[in-house]
Each structure stands twice: as structure tokens, then as C-alpha cells.
Structure 1
């Protein structure tokens, strides 16, 4: 094992974070496959010439992420079992990669919240830009910052929402996830403190973990942010202020102003911000309250996940730095897609999107409350998810029961680093009504068959992260 870890101790940050980062890479790359027995704490500590507490802390961090399991008398194993078999206490992958592509079986996917079908306007937009492509001349097509017309359109959209913006403040990316990854790489070093909401978008947790960050969870809206800034001196804070993923909450203007003026760089995730229900007031982005706020957005949740268009709005020096980082891996995004996106931006304000969201929310909420009256299912005013609390048991073990009944759902434990959302589920309402009805049917069958485990599926970690 020691030789497979390589030079894990080189770099900045606490040793346990660096060790966890290297083990995470080996697990995610498949070099440590599911079910593999890892060395005992003392054995690995001796092999690496570190204290046993370093190994324990690294193992505990990976257990909290669902990548390993630890049991008294059974040892430490990589999570899952060979050949993809399902077991009652198998954790759900935080990034749910298996649920991002269509499956051949009869399992309904209620995990990835995104539009199930591209709108007809998508094909129309590509038809409209065909003549533009025909007249492209003397242009190699590399635009690390993004195609100029789309940067201008995004800057104008921010300006119309109360945030004066120039095109030099916009970087176009291949989706919101790439935008967040670039920012994390630019702003976070191993061992840095990063403040996140608990719960929050699981893809963000994975991005910051990849950079070796020490995550500190605060309640939704980052309640207690200013004392945490004084105590922890974080490198950055990440917040979803508008139609929060997964709770659907909206941060008040006063709270936005306080966060923006706390003296810490804030990443404002605006990906769900365009998912308001009809009649909801327009919310001013947090970036309007201070230069310390960097905003990210995307068309994937509003129009279609296959339309890989995202962006960053930030000060020009940071945009320049991000473009240099992006060019190392990707010299520029797809130009035809960016040209089409210019024509698709008005869809974000089209009534059809918002009425469809509201109708599907109401459909799912009504069916759930009727079929499962003991569940706590608060309605929301926008977004794409319901944050459901089970009356007993835990989300991880129930997710395995649901999977055996043909439904893949996302348990709350993978969205909350504080361990306080174990009894929750995230259920999205982006699917067609017949699929939502069938999902509720399978969910109800799973609940009637569910028997909670005698102990926690995943014990809370023994370290504070």
C-alpha cells in the first residue's frame, strides 16, 4: 500500500488531508476497487512513518464521504462490493455518475435534477446560427474566455438584473461544474478552510475535496458566517442564495449584503436562480452587494443538461487567471453551441419554463403528501427539488431499498458534511408527470417494505470537518 500512495506527503496542508486526497484518487481511479481491505491504522501509519492519528483522520474523512466503510472486527474496506452488487449499507456515490447516463434496466432515475428533454427551441437555435457559421472567415475558433457575442449577452443580462457588468468580467465555461472547478483550483490550496452550507450541492463538495480543502458546514444561508470568518479565516465561502439546492430557500437581501461585506471571497452559485415559479419576485444577485462575490451560472438546469454552457462573473484579474487555467486543459468551448446559446438566453425569462416547473412541483408534492402522509415534505417557491425528511430510519439505507424497487434517489447524507441530514432525501420534480407518478408509486412500495438498520448506516466522523 505504501508504494501505491507514492509521494502523497508532498505539498501543502495537514498530512491527513494529503493522505486522504491520495487515497481518494486511488479509489476514484479504480486502483483500489470496491471491497478491497485497507491496512489497519497502525500498520499504515508505520509504513508511512506518520502518527496513527493521521491515518485515523484520513480514514474518517473518507468514510464521511462514503468512499470507505469501517467496522469493528471487520476492518476498513473500499465502499461497495465487487461486480457492482447491491448491499443494504452500500453508500451512494456523491456525484451519482451512474445516473448521468441512460440505463438499460427499468430503474427510474430521480437523482440528477435536470430537464429530461431538450426544448424545441434548441434545434431552432442551431438552425438559426448555421448562416453565421457559413460566413466565419479568418478565425481559428479558439476562445478561452468564451465567444465575444455570448460574453456580451451574459454581461447585458447581469446589468439588466441590477449588477452592472462588462464583457471582460465574463468567462464562458463548459457548464457550471467546470466554472466551479476552475474557481476552486484558483482560490483553494490544500488545507485551506472552505465554508459551505449544510446541506448543499454535492458536486461542490467533491470539487473542494479534490483541492484538499477543509470543509466547514454552516446552516443554509451561512447563518453564523461572520463569527466563523473570525475564527477560521476561510479562503472562500460557497453559497446557493436563490432557490437553494436542495432546500429551495431564498436568502434575504439583508443576508446577501452581510455575506458580501464579510471580507471573504464568496462564490455565489446562481445555477438555480432562473428557476422561479410564476409570480415570484425577481431576486437581485448577491454580486450586486460587493466586489468580493464571484457568480457562476449555467443553462443546464434551465434549458438542457446536454447544452454545456456555463459562466463565471468576476473581476477581470480573476477572469484572466481562470482563462489561463482553463487553457491548460481546454483551449476554448464549442463555438456553434455558444452561438446558439445567445439565442437561447431569452428562454430563461419565458413563462413556459416557470409554469412547467410549478406544475410539476405541485404534481409531485400532491402525490407524495397523499401517498406518504407521515413524511415531512415542505413545498418550495422555485428551484427543482423537494427536501424530504423521513419520519424514521435514514436516507442511505432507504435509498438501497428504493433501488431494489426500481427507483434511484439521492439520500441527504451525501449533501451535508455536518452529518445532520441523514434522515433526508432530495427528490427532484423535473421529470414528466407520468414519470413522477410512477416514481411516487415505487417510492411508496419501497417505504412499506423498508426496515431501518439497527445502527447507523454510516456513523458520523470523529473529526470536525
Structure 2
């Protein structure tokens, strides 16, 4: 079922959209297009009527009509009699060019916009891997034989199946953070875990300290809970511990969300000395540290670190099988004190009553044999990383890159503030990007772009060549670059 976007809601997303760099209708169409590409306006959403949007923006109805017509011509807005246009992504030719104008689309639903790029686009917006097929299949086959023993039960368990919780606890203990099964709660992925934590420990208007840049969906969860994000900027070398200590001491945030293991999007890893210092500062400020460890297993350089939870009881850890095995498993977890886990379980009932049993049985096998698929996976990712860095150096030599010690992406520093412009233009060249506002607060990082290396080298080469072509077009058309760059960043918090 499609949703309807009100004029007030779209006006808020648009922000200060009219910068006088071109015809008003074209600027309006460009900004709406960016919102659709970035996923901030969901696919299959009905846009406001021309009359209501013109009233909300204080512009003529003719301008809105022309902007909607432009979006229809470009394939970003459907047309139909008796109904308002609905947002969509245009069809592509085999060469990656959009087929503008009304085009028939397949009847596939877009239930989660942005997770899958339309056919023909190379998706660099999301960094994710295909399943470690044989390993996952074998785990489900084993789970199927174990399922009959559980069928007499009710099937509801807010904490998760004991064998899986024990397997996760054993992994933490082996890594240096002694853990009991009672300190683990199984969730439907890491995002589900973070939502439960925020709902339990923070209220509306409470402060949540975040790294800057940070993981986009974490910022979304913080915003959705009505909390106030307190950003602390990264330095060239990583975490700014004095600034984080100062922020906690002065603002007393209820929570601090961070990714210490192969930070998303920079790929950096926090040394143990900084972890110990951060935990002390959080304890002194009464701040609960939420450590997102979903990328911890993707340790490409073999850097040895200890889980943040080993340094103090004020840490709540989040983990997942999404990156090490497959996002389709939808299996994550929370590690905390047993008292805290009971609080999370009580809060969880407002969201769901537990996870699917079959997936948990399979996940228990995967966690117990977690190291099995990793050597081959890490070797592949090292090759992809080397290929991407080489391609960027060859074809985009003015881009500066960080060294990702692990994870799935490179954080690039662009020579000019063109990140939004590239995001708007890239689909015309067959590539889909994550716009830089998704990683920050208040429209930051216009000179940055995250480029994942989850794809094989041949796809990465095609993508980098497309990015070079898009940059060349912007370089040759300063007016176009200015127009697209001034598309507003939406404040995430």
C-alpha cells in the first residue's frame, strides 16, 4: 500500500530549496529527485497536490505543476488519471541511461526503498554482501532436524533461544569479555537491537552522543525516538577523545552510540587504550555506551582489539550476523548486564514477542562455527579494497581516501563540495550513491562520499569510471554543479 506525503512534510524535507541558481521549477524538481534517490521520500509515495504544495511553499501553482511535469518526464513520478503521481525510480537502458517519460514498470513491490537498486544500476548506496551460501544452507538444514523438538512449545521467547544465547556469550568470553547466556538477548538484526535500547534507556529530548560522521540508520533511530543527537567530529586520525570526554562531562548524554570496530563509514578501529579511557569517562558522566560491533568480524588487517564491554559495565553491545554471513538472516543481539537485559526484554513486547525459531536454530550453528567462512571472505574483501583504492588513484586522483582497516567501505574526501551533486547525477551514469547528508547532522560532509568495496573488482571498475564521467560533467558545467550542490541537506536530528 502506498503512502501519502503531506505538503507540510514535504516542505520540511525540502528546507531552503530555492537558491536562485536557475528556474524555480527546475530547482524544486532537482531537490525532490535527490530526496527520492536518497530514500528520504519513499518509493511509491503519493506527492502532495499541486495546490497544497504551492500553498505550503508560498509559490505559484504553475511552478509546482512544471516541477511535477519535469519529474514525470525524468521517470521519477508516475502519471495516472484521477490520482496524484507516485514516486519511483526511472527505467534504465542497457547503458545505464534513464528512459525518461512514462515507462511500464514491473509489478515488483518496493517494500524497503533503497535496499536494492533498480536493475541496471550499480548500487553503492548500501554496503552489503551476498550470503556465504553453503555455510548458511548447511546451518538451516541442521536447524530443520532440530525444529520438531521445539514444536510442542509456544514459540514465543523475548530473550531468544538458549543455545544461541550461549553460543554468543561464549564468543564474547573468548574475546576477553566474560559473558553468561543471561547477558544476551537475541533480536531481529542490529537495527532492531538499537531501537530497543533507545526506547528503554532514553526519552524524548534526551541527548545521545554520536560520532560525526556516523551510521545513517542509527541517526534515523535516534531521531525517530525524539532524542537529540550530540555530534562529536572525527579527526584525521580517528576519535577525538578529549572532545568526547568534554561532551559527556558537560552535556551528560543518556547514551553514546559509537562503532569502535571498523567505523561506518570511515573503516577506522579504536585502540584499546582509547576504549579504556572512553569507558571511564562514560562511567563518570553516567552515560551508557552503545557499541555497535556488527562489522567487528570484518577485520581485514588483523588488528587485535578487545570488545568495549570488557572495560566496564556501562557498555551495551550490539552484534549481528548480517555482515559476516547474510543480511537476510535478520539475526542480531544485545549484550549487557542481566538486569539491563531484563529491562530490554520488557520493553521489547511493544515491538514484538520474540524472533523466529528456525532462524535462531540456524544462527546457533553459524555462531558456533563463525570462523569457518571468514578466511575466504576476508581474502575477497582485501582484494576488493585493493582494487577500489587502485581505481580511485588512477581515475580520480584528486580524491583523498582513508585506509579502512576493516569493514566494507572507503570514506573519500572530494576536491570540491560536490557530494550531493554527484549523488543526483550518478544515476544518469548507472550508479546509485548514498548522499552525504545521510552520514551527518545538519547537512555536513558535502566534500565526502562513502564508496563500498563489497562488489567484485569488475563492477567496481565500472562504478569508478561512471563516477569519473559524472565528475567530468560537473567540472565542465559549473552552473549545473552549483545548482545541484545547493540542493539542501536534510537535518537528521
CA change 1:110–1:454 in 2 (3 A) is closer
Assess if the C-alpha contact under 8 Å between 1:196 and 1:222 holds in 2. Answer: no
Are the counterparts in 2 of residues 199 and 412 from structure 1 also a CA contact under 8 Å? Answer: no
Corresponding residue for residue 290 of structure 1: 312
Displacement of 1:454 in angstroms is 5.2
Map 1:144-223 → 2, pairs under 5 A: 144-220=158-234, 221=239, 223=241
User: What is the DSSP-based 3-state SS (H/G/I as helix, E as strand, rest coil) of the residue aligned with 2:469?
Assistant: helix
Query: Does structure 1 residue 253 correspond to structure 2 residue 269?
Result: no
**Does 2:117 correspond to 1:98?**
no
Contact residue 207 and residue 254 of structure 2 kept, 8 A = yes
- Distance in 2 between residues matched to 1:295 and 1:195, nearest whole Å: 16
Partner of 2:458: 434
Matched position secondary structure for 1:374? coil
TM-score, normalised to structure 1, is 0.79
Counterpart CA distance in 2 for 1:189 and 1:302 is 33
The Cα shift of 1:109 comes to 1.0
2:400 is the counterpart of 1:373: no
TM-superposed CA distance for 1:210, in Å, is: 0.5
Distance 1:112 1:32, change over 3 A: same
Change (3 A) 1:144 1:389: same
Alignment of 1:10-409 (within 5 A): 30-32=4-6, 82-83=77-78, 84=87, 97-101=112-116, 103=118, 105-136=119-150, 138-220=152-234, 221=239, 223=241, 224-262=243-281, 263=283, 264-278=287-301, 280-345=302-367, 346-348=369-371, 350-409=374-433
Q: 1:34 to 1:405 in 2, by over 3 A?
A: farther
- The Cα shift of 1:235 comes to 1.0
The alignment partner of 1:98 has SS state of coil
Count of matched residue positions in the alignment of Structure 1 and Structure 2? 406
8 A Cα contact 1:66 1:414, kept in partner:
no
**CA apart distance, 1:102:** 5.2
Deviations 1:363-387 (A, max 9, x none): 1111121111111122321110100
CA distance in 1, matches of 2:390, 2:492: 39
Residue 34 of structure 1 deviates from its aligned partner by 9.5
TM superposition shift of 1:37:
5.1
Residues 329, 454 of structure 1: alpha-carbon distance in 2 compared, 3 angstrom cutoff: closer
User: CA offsets per residue over residues 105-126 of structure 1, 9 Å max, x none?
Assistant: 3111111111034432111111
Alpha carbons of 1:34 and 1:100: their partners in 2 closer, same or farther (altered >3 Å)? farther
What is residue 58 of structure 1 aligned with on the other side? Answer: none
Which whole-Å deviations, capped at 9, do the CAs of 1:312-333 have from their partners, x for residues lacking one? 0011122111112222332111
**3-state DSSP of counterpart to 2:194:** helix
1:53 alignment counterpart: none
Q: Which runs of 5+ in 2 are unaligned?
A: 16-34, 42-46, 48-52, 79-86, 91-110
How far 1:456 sits from its partner (Å)?
4.7
Aligned partners of 2:409 and 2:492: how far apart in 1? 28
Instruction: State whether residues 424 and 484 of structure 2, in contact with CA within 8 Å, keep that contact through their aligned partners in structure 1.
Output: no
Deviates more, 1:446-455 or 1:265-274: 446-455
Cα deviation, residue 253, structure 1? 1.3
- Per-residue CA deviations over 1:17-71 (Å, capped at 9, x if unaligned) read xxxxxxxxxxx963416995579x9xxxxxxxxxxxxxxxxxxxx9xx9779999
In structure 1, the residue matched to 2:29 is: none
Inter-CA distance 127–213: structure 2 relative to 1 (3 Å threshold):
same
1:118–1:303 contact (8 Å) kept in structure 2: yes
130 and 460 in structure 1: CA distance in 2 versus 1, 3 angstrom threshold: closer
TM-score relative to the length of structure 2:
0.75
Task: Check whether the contact 1:272–1:383 (CA below 8 A) recurs between aligned residues.
Answer: yes
Gaps of 5+ in 1: 1-27, 42-61, 88-95
Separation of aligned partners in 2, 1:197 and 1:456: 24
Contact 1:35 1:82 in 2 (8 A): no
Cα distance in 2, alignment partners of residues 37 and 295 from structure 1: 38
User: SS in structure 1 opposite 2:458?
Assistant: helix
Structure 1 443/146 Cα, relative in aligned 2: closer, same or farther at 3 Å?
Answer: same
1:441: Cα distance to partner?
2.3
Q: Tell me how far apart the structure 2 counterparts of residues 73 and 128 of structure 1 sit (CA, whole Å).
A: 62
Question: Whole-Å Cα distance in 2 between the matches of residues 137 and 155 of structure 1?
Answer: 25
- Asked if 2 retains the 8 angstrom alpha-carbon contact of 1:277 and 1:358, the reply is yes
Secondary structure of 2:155's counterpart equals coil
